[in-house]
Amino acid sequence: MSETRQQDWDPRATSVLEDQIAAYDEMRSRCPVAFSDYLQWSLFRHADVMRVLEDHETFSSAASRHPSVPNAMDPPEHTRFRRLIEPYFGPEAMADFAPQCRAIAEGVIDRLPADGEIEAMAVMGQDFALEIQCAFMGWPTSLHEPLRAWVNRQQAATLAGDREVLGELALEFDGVIRELLASRREAGDAAPDDVTTRIMNETVEGRALSDAEIVSILRNWTVGELGTISASIGILMRYLAANPELQGRLRADPGLLPAAIDEILRLDAPLMSNRRITTCPVEIGGRRLEAGERLTLLWGSANRDEAVFGDPDEVHLDRDPEDNLLYGAGIHVCPGAPLARMELRHFMEALLDATIDIAPLPGQPVVRALYPAGGYSEVPLHVRR
């Protein structure tokens, strides 16, 4: 493990937290592999992040202090669980869920005022994320508000760095999932045929999944989805409000939305980072790391690397999608990417169909989210339908 080192930067400095994106842009040129007590080794460049993603033998995903299936697994264990999980996000599954996805998007958009002010993160982002995720999992609508309260408490505890409360919240969330599993077992053959029930009946290597494995899979899907989808909605709505020319172009040609969504989320990350741990001594970016050192891969920086994207703030709808690390890369690329892309496309299509204009609110600036969250905590906008 690393000895006491001098810090190259302070990720919790006020100047960094006020605008993470700008701070990461500066670090990418000044110190692209940087050490801090808070994040350990942070990687800012696209090439360095790609190297880590493609070399899972040197840079292990088993960096979590808690079981995480399959996020914190390496091959061959990771491979077995990915094989189990991927069909849930395959073309057939997405086609089946698409009508319900569109209906939920339209229902959330229908709540917009005819001509008035909204706060996009709470009114649009969080509502859509809660409703769409519960629908995909087959969970009752009665869970919407308890999950909203849980997400808010979890975000507050994360910002406060309160590990005790975070541990309690993790157990609380696991308890919610275990109650859902128990109710399905009690129902027997009458249990709903949904994603949650199907996961319960899966096997790996010829054995049934343990409850701990089922809970971990469902927790990863749900907690990750609630945060990133709501953040993505806020980022997308803010960007189109601030860029009326692109907003008009997408209204005229909705077929451009998939490329535009990925590109806007490239330059303003909804998910800021991921973790790895070294398995052996290695040199990266001119820095020497020993075995057992922790790394933070900063998507919010790598996806803005000038060496790959030129001016990172320019939106190009014809970029090579392989360069965009929005959903990661390599063997750990996000299995839920097809679902997230479909959800965001349906939401943005419904939003543009139902509105005439989305604009910033004069005198009411957006408020950036604080690490580890990406995007914004407040996005005040004016909409006309």
Residue 61 domain-assigned? Answer: no
Q: Report pLDDT digits (tens) over 129-181.
A: 999 999 999 999 999 999 999 988 988 888 787 889 888 988 999 999 999 99
The residue-averaged pLDDT of 349-372 equals 94
Q: What's the pTM?
A: 0.95
Residue 261 domain-assigned? Answer: yes
Number of structural domains (the chain) is 1
Residue 304 domain-assigned? Answer: no
Give the per-residue pLDDT at 3. 52
**Bridge partner list, 117:** 382
Place of tokens 């975000």: 155
Q: Report pLDDT digits (tens) over 172-221.
A: 999 999 999 999 999 999 999 999 999 999 999 999 999 999 999 999 99
* Largest Cα–Cα separation, the chain: 61
Q: What is the CATH classification number for the domain harbouring 259?
A: 1.10.630.10
**pLDDT > 50? residue 379:** yes
Integer Cα distance of 169 and 174 in angstroms: 9
Q: Report pLDDT digits (tens) over 226-240.
A: 989 999 999 999 999
Q: From residue 89, how far is each of 68, 96, 244 by CA, in Å? A: 19, 11, 33
Integer Cα distance of 280 and 60 in angstroms: 10
Task: Give the rounded percent of residues in the chain with a pLDDT score beyond 70.
Answer: 99
Residue 203 domain-assigned? Answer: yes
Residue 20 domain-assigned? Answer: no
Residue 297 domain-assigned? Answer: no
Residue 91 domain-assigned? Answer: yes
Q: Which domain holds residue 341?
A: 76-274+320-384
Residue 143 domain-assigned? Answer: yes
Q: Report pLDDT digits (tens) over 66-109.
A: 778 999 999 999 999 999 999 999 999 999 999 999 999 999 99
Which distant-in-sequence residues (6+ apart) come within 8 Å of 210 by Cβ? none
Mean pLDDT of the residues in the chain? 94
Q: Take residue 176 and report the two structure tokens written for it.
A: 């919610």
Q: Which residues of 189-204 are buried (b: 16+ CB within 10 A; e: fewer)?
A: eebeeebbbebbebee
